Structure 1
C-alpha cells in the first residue's frame, strides 16, 4: 500500500461497561484504589479519577488543593458505609436500588455530595410510592429540602385522605403547627368537616396531657354546622372524659347535636311528629311526691309539679298529652287513687281522677289501644286481678284475673296483647310469663324466663320484650315474640330491684332501684346496636320503687 494513502477508519468498542464493571469489582476488593473513605461504621475505597469524572464535588476535592485531595484516607461524617458504597456503585455501574429504608439517606448524601442524578431518582421514588403510611413523613422531608412539587403532591394526598392519614403514628407525632397546617388545608377544601374533627381527636388523644392546651386552638378550625349528624351522635353520646369537660363540647358540640336532633322530624302515618327525648320520673321510696323530667340529649333534670299523693310502688302511663299515675304508697296496703298531669301545663296542679277498683302497691301497667291496663300488685295480699282505665269516660273496669298472683312484676303491651312476667306470688320469686288479648278475655302461659325475677322492670325494645334486673340481679334477658324464646343479653352494671325503665331515642333507660350502693342514685342506658350498658348519669336523690314514662 502506498505510504501516502490517507484512508482512515474509526472503530468504536462498547467496552466501557465492561471496564467500569471490572473497576468496580477491583474497588470492592480494594485493588488499584487510591483513596479510602473512613466512616463511623466502616470504610469504602475507590479510584479518585472515577469519582472526579462523575462528581463536581470530588473533582474539586482532588484537583483544587483541598487537603483531603492529597490524602489516601478521607474522613466522612454523617453518612453510613452502606449508603456511600451504594452511591459509588452507581458511579461505576450507572444503576441504583432505592427502597423505603434507604431513600432518605440516599437523598441526604446525594445532596451533600452533589449527586444530582440520584436526587432526582429519589424524588421519583417519593412520587411513585406516596401512600397513607408515608405521606406525612414524605411531606416533612420535602419541606426540609424545599421540594415544592413533592410538597404540593403530599398536601393534596393528605387532604384527600385525612381521616385515614390521621390514624397513623406519623400524623399523631406531628407538632401542633404541623398538625394545624394540614387540618387548615382540609378545612379550606371540604364542605363536610367530619374528617377534620376525627383528625383533631386523633392527634389530641395521642397525648392528652401535653396537648390539652391546644384544644381550643384546633377546634376553632371546625365549622360544626358542617359536621354530619352521624358523627355528632357518635362523639356526643359516647364522649371520652377529656373532651366531655372542654368548653368546645359543652358550649358548641353538644348544643349543635341537640339542635340537629330536636329539629329532626319523623314521618308517622303521613304526618310529621317530633322525636321524643325526655322521660318523667315519678315518686319513689325517698322521693314520694317528687316528679322530675330528664332530657337524654341535654342530660339535664328539671323538677315539675309534685303529685298530690305519695307515689312509691305506683304505676305511670302516658296517653296523648297527659301523664297518669295510680296506686302505690300507703301503710302496707297501697292506694287506689289516680291523678293526671297535663303536659301542656306541667307547672299546674295534678288533677284527681276516678280511683281504681282495687288498692294496688307494686302493680305494673301498660297502655294498649288508648287505655291503661294495670295488673296485680299488693293490697294486704298478693293480687291476680287486673283492670283498665278509659280516659274518655274516666272509668275503671275489671278484666279476667291472671293465672298467677303477682306483685313487683312487669307488664308490657305489643301488637294488641298484654304480657306479664316475673314478680313474686308471696312465697316465691317468679319466672313465669302470661299474656292476654283483652278482646279474647283469656290469659295464656308462655315460656318462662331463664331466671326468677322479683322487682324487675320491663320494656318492649326493637320488637322484643326485655326483662331487666330484679332482686339480687343485674342480668337481662329478652323474649322474641315470634319464636317465643328467651335469650340472655349484656348485663347491667349494678344489681337493680325496684327500678323502672323506658325507651327513649332508640335506647333503654333504667332508673334507680336497690341492690348495690350505687343503684338507687344512677341511671343506666342500653344501646342495642352494641349490646352494652353504660352509666348515663347520677341523680340527686335515690329512686327506689319509682315509676317512669316516656314523654
Structure 2
C-alpha cells in the first residue's frame, strides 16, 4: 500500500513539474527586476506560509494574480522554482556552486517568504560548509535574518577556531558590540591570551579616531593575568594605547603585579576562560557541626584525639552548588587562614599546627608547627612568607609577629611586635605591609588600625576605625580594605589615603564566624554563629568572680549555671545571607542558605577546573 501511495505522489509531482515546464494551468505571476515567472497558486501556498496567507487575505495581489519582488534577484527565484518544481532539493549538490552572497539571499528569502524546506536546505548547507573564511559573515547573517540555527552554528565555530580567525581582516569590520561579545565569552578558545590582546589592538588601530573610546571596555575582557609576564612587560606595558589611558595602565599594572606576587592571588577578582582550565573559587572552612554533636552512643566514649572537625567547601558564589573538598583533620575550631599562590594555609589547634592545602594535588599537607599555639590570631601572606599576628597564648595576649618562609619551609620565628596585642582582629596584606583591624584589647574592643611593616619589623598605629570593632572579617580589593564587624558595621579603609569610612550597618546583627565574599561591588555575608543569646545568658548567669568567703584563699567564681549548660544553650550556626552594595551602602536580605553554616575561615584560591 505504501508503495502505491509513493507512486501516486511521484505521479502528482511529475505532473505538476510538467505543467510548470509547459506553462500550463499557471495562474500566478512573480515579477522581479529582470524576469517574470509564471507559477501555480496551489504550489506556492503548499510550500510558503507567506503566499498562503496572501491568497486567503483578499490582497490586491490575489485579485491581480501577480506579485512584485524587485528587491529579490532573478537568480534567487530561479533557484527557488528549480527546487520547488524539479526535486533538486533532494540532490542539492548544485547549491555548493552558489556563492556566499547567493546562499545568504536564499536564507533571507526562506525567512521572508516563510518557506521552511528552503530554510532547512540553507541551514544544512551552512553547517556542512562552515569554515574560518565564512563563519563571521554567517554569524552576522544569522543575526540579521533571525535564523537562530545558523547564528548558533557560526557562533560556536568562531569560539572554537578563534586562533585562525584572529588573523582574518573580517574581524576588523565588526561593530564594537560584536567584537566585545566575542572576546568576552568564557568559552572562547585561544592557545594563549596574547591573541586576544593583538585582536583588540588591531581592531582599535584600524579606525583609531572612532574606536579609541572603546579600548578600555575591550581591554577589561582580555584575561591579562593569563598573559606571560615577559610578554606583558615587553609588549603591553609600553604600548601607546595603554600609556595614554590611566585605567588601562592600572589594569596592566595589576596584571603584572599578579604575575609577580603570589600573595595577591586571593585579593583580586579574576576571570579565566574554559580553555585556560583555571578558576578562582572561594574556599569555606566550615565547622563540622554534625560530627561533634553529642549522642547517647558517644556520650561516654573516650575523646578521639584526631577527630576531624573542619569541612572544606568550594563555591563560586553563595548560591551556587557547594563542592566538597578533602576534610581538614587534627586542627581545632579556632583557626586562621590565608592563601599564597595556589595554596590555602591554616594555623590553629592545641599544637599550633600549620596545614597547607595544595590545590594541584587536592590534599592537605602538614608543615611546621608554630613556636607557641595561639587562639584568636589572624594570618596573612606576603610574597614568600606567612605572618601570624595577635591572639593569645593560653591566657596571655600575644604581641609577637611570627613569620614562616613558604620557600624554605623551615621553623617559625619571631619577626617583630605589634603595638597593641589584640585578640580576634582581622587583617590584610598589601605589598610588604600588614594592616590589622580592631580586635579585643584589655577586654575592650579596639578602634585602631595597626600597621606592621615587614621590612622594618616594626608596628605602628595607621588610623582609627569609625567605631570599636571586637571581632571582624576583612578582605582587600586593590588599595581598599573592607571590614565587617560582629555588630554588623561595614567599614572601608583606604590604604593609600590613610582614611576609614563607615559604609553600612546590618540591622540586628550580632554574630561571629560568618563568611564574606565580595564580587563586582556586592558583598555577601553568610552564615555565622549567633552571639545574642549567649551574651544574654552570660549577663544573667555569670556574676563577677567572688571568693566563697572573705577568709578563703579559694577564688573560684560562683556561677548560677555551669559553663557546660551555657554551651549547650548556645546557638551553633545560622543560615542568613546579607547583600551589601559597597558603593551605595544599600543592605538587602538574600535568600537563606539551605542549612546553617558556621564559617571558621573564608579565602579565595586559584585552582584547576579538572580537579572539581
The normalised TM-score by structure 1 is 0.49
Higher Cα Rg: structure 1 or 2? Answer: 1
